[in-house]
A and B are shown apart, each in its own frame.
Chain A
Amino acid sequence: REQVQVAGSSTVLPYSTIVAELFGENTDFGTPVIESGGSSTGLRRFCEGVGENTIDIANSSRQIRDSEVEECAANGVTDIMEVRIGYDGIVFASAQSGASFAFTPADWFNALSAKVVRDGAIVDNTAASWAEVNPELADQEILAFVPGTRHGTREVFDEKVIAQGCEDSGALEVFTAELGEEEAEAACMTLRTDGRSVDIDGDYTETLARIGSSPNGIGVFGLSFYENNMDTLQVATMSGVTPSTETIASGEYPVSRPLFIYVKKAHIGVIPGVKEFAEFFVSDAIAGPDGPLAAYGLVSDPELASVQQAVADETTMQ
């Protein structure tokens, strides 16, 4: 095989393609083939075994799970290098034509949760406009396009926005008191199903198109997607912070997640270019704050140097 083969998350895909393209242009190795298909497929293919007809690197928008590592090991894929390539910011944006928003997690919880606490009692959520949720917000119909349950983004959205909002708004306490700890967590994260919260199983372009046909909608996007579509989207602040690579890198903007690539160590030295590609990926010129990835919207890892070191040393996971 002449090219490195990479598969996995569609969130990591654009970054990988940028790197692959540059890698192909600037080295003697072939341009790696980057497949999309989701973190799950990527890791599944990664863990299918060692050999020419398995992939070398998996893109993932989340950390590999223990069960997956076990499965990998069962198929003979034992030495896995985990490489964190940076962070992905998750932003809330609406149509340019509409009002602008300054949200807090609690707003989102109160707007989208199936059950909310009103006057200390748990009631079904009937809020119809953002102003009902928080008088400071615009009086615009609630219509949120949130990532479907297949997206890793949804996990972050659930944890960092909805669960956070549940806690911030004090609903968690009430839920815990009424339902017990476990049920309370579930109750926090159950979204309403009356059409105000629309799951998007497609990608950000679908969300964008839906905002196009329903201009009241507010969508959840990746930072880089928003940055490429600033002419049609306006971004909302979260807890007063405007999302940008800087605010996310500094940790001010709360909603973000790390992105990874997993490298099959057994392929290093067998498939030409595997290690070189990984090194190229996290090099300063590429993944640094001034590199093309950052320009595209990837939040550069503040600890990039240690990542580079780990790749150079071929450090594997334990």
Chain B
Amino acid sequence: MTDHPRATGAKSLYVQDARTRRRNAAEKRFRAYGLTAIVIACTMLAVLVFTIVRDGSGAFRQTYLSIPVALDAQVLDPKGNRDPAEMAGVLTLSYGQVLDRALDAAVAGLDLQIEGLESGDIDGLISRDASAQLRDRVLADPDLVGQTVDVNVLANGRIDGYFKGRVTMETAARDANTSPAQLMLADELVKAGLLVTRFNAGFLTAADASDQRPEAAGVGVAILGSLYMMLVVLVLAVPIGVAASIYLEEFAPRSRWTDLIEVNIANLAAVPSIVFGILGLAVFINFAGLPASAPIVGGLVLTLMTLPTIIIATRAALKAVPPSIRDAALGVGASRMQTVFHHVLPLAAPGILTGTIIGLAQALGETAPLLLIGMVAFVREFPAAPPEGLFDPASALPVQVYNWTQRSDPAFVERASGAIIVLLIFLLCMNLLAIFLRRKFERRW
């Protein structure tokens, strides 16, 4: 033993020898790499979130127009008997005319001088959605006909864009859908207090709207659809995934058969999500006869898609639990099932929760599989409360994002980013519990 070379050449510990210096430098570098990696990841996150918020915060504010409207009985109730059934025969187009007239009157009352202002410009201030709103209001209360009521309706998307900086005088000059005169009029109306920009609750509660009404589009149906799907995924994917992992990791004999299942699951993770859509269409809609566009089918497809992620994460976490803990429990006469549920599972919980977080994040943001089962759709009607609502047509948040990014009106860019913000908040809410639980379960041994 006596002739062992000395580990440290230097006598004093205060002085680092060359090798230690080198190793410490390597250590510092390694640490720096690690920190850099986190900084990179966080910076990217910051950049992405910043762009999303920058582009999307506008969706939460909206310009509204409030004017008194004379509800002309001649137009709205030609027969004059205030019978809602007959009044339903009056189309929104007529209500549009009523609104146009009211706005014309309001503008005329202001006595403005704007060069090049045409009557079409004035009417163009009102959203196309306004007439439907007014019609609904009148049909609900036919006695309003003949009166003059104050209405508060959405302003057209371009006007809204003007107050959000998306539309300028310069672009308006080139744009056939608006004109500088119209924008000047809008400025005047703001001064007169008829146009106001305020918080847009409708974005969160309203359904999708067509291309012509970006200002009216909201994520209400999409939120419900996503919520329903995530319920299905949560209820199915997590228990099934954890149960399957436990079986494979703790109970299954090591054999070709379990190898097969293992490879199989790893392979399922690599299946493009749209293929799960093909599967969903074939199995759940065509074979099992479930309705298309329904959250139940979406949830089932996403469950199948998320399962591999959860299983792989859970198995890795189970594998990481030291065998001595299993021995200890078995040694006092616990069954394997008890060992797993009392000791191994709690210790593997952080990993399981991480897998769940990542799996759900993926499921929440996925569009492609929904494409084939009819959920990438324009849905205006709200699904009912579960469980029946699971079978009603619904949209989903990523679908709304996907659809809106394809719309031609630039106003939808803002909506899409707004929907992404909602989606991220949704995701955070969903993960919060998991993150909290994970911190609770985390321990070293």
Contacts and interface: CB of A to CB of B under 8 A. Distances in A.
Chains A and B share a contact (CB less than 8 Å) = yes
17 contacts: A5-B393, A14-B407, A14-B408, A17-B211, A20-B380, A21-B213, A25-B132, A25-B135, A26-B91, A33-B293, A34-B377, A36-B371, A36-B403, A36-B406, A45-B374, A222-B408, A285-B91
Interface stretch (A142-150, A163-171, A190-198, A225-233): A225-233
Nearest to B286: A48
B177 A20 contact: no
Given A53-B286, A53-B290, 6 more contacts: A5-B374, A13-B378, A14-B210, A17-B210, A55-B374, A205-B405
Contacts, number: 123
B408 A53 contact: no
Complex A-B, nearest 4 residue pairs according to Cβ-Cβ distance, in ascending order: A231-B171, A31-B380, A34-B378, A228-B408
A146 B209 CA distance: 29
A27 B397 CA distance: 28
Interface of A: 1-3, 5, 7, 10, 13-14, 16-18, 20-22, 24-26, 28, 30-31, 33-37, 41, 45, 48, 52-53, 55, 96, 203-205, 222, 224-225, 227-232, 285, 292, 295-296
Interface in B330-387: 371-372, 374-381
Given A37-B376, A53-B291, A224-B408, A230 B175 contact: yes
A184 B163 CA distance: 55
B211 A14 contact: yes
A7 B171 CA distance: 35
A33 B377 CA distance: 6
B212 A225 contact: no
Contacts of B167: 231
B290 A21 contact: no
Interface of B: 88, 91-93, 128, 132, 135, 167, 171-172, 174-177, 208-213, 285-286, 289-293, 371-372, 374-381, 393, 403, 405-410
Interface centre among A14, A96, A292 (most CB of B within 10 A): A14
Contacts of B135: 25
A33 B376 CA distance: 10
B212 A35 contact: no
Contacts of A1: 291
Contacts of A225: 408
Contact of B376 (A14, A36, A205): A36
B212 A53 contact: no
B293 A35 contact: yes
Contacts of A53: 285-286, 289-292
B176 A230 contact: yes
A53 B393 CA distance: 12
A227 B176 contact: yes
A37 B371 contact: yes
Nearest to B373: A35
A295 B408 CA distance: 14
Contact of B293 (A5, A13, A203): A5
A30 B381 CA distance: 7
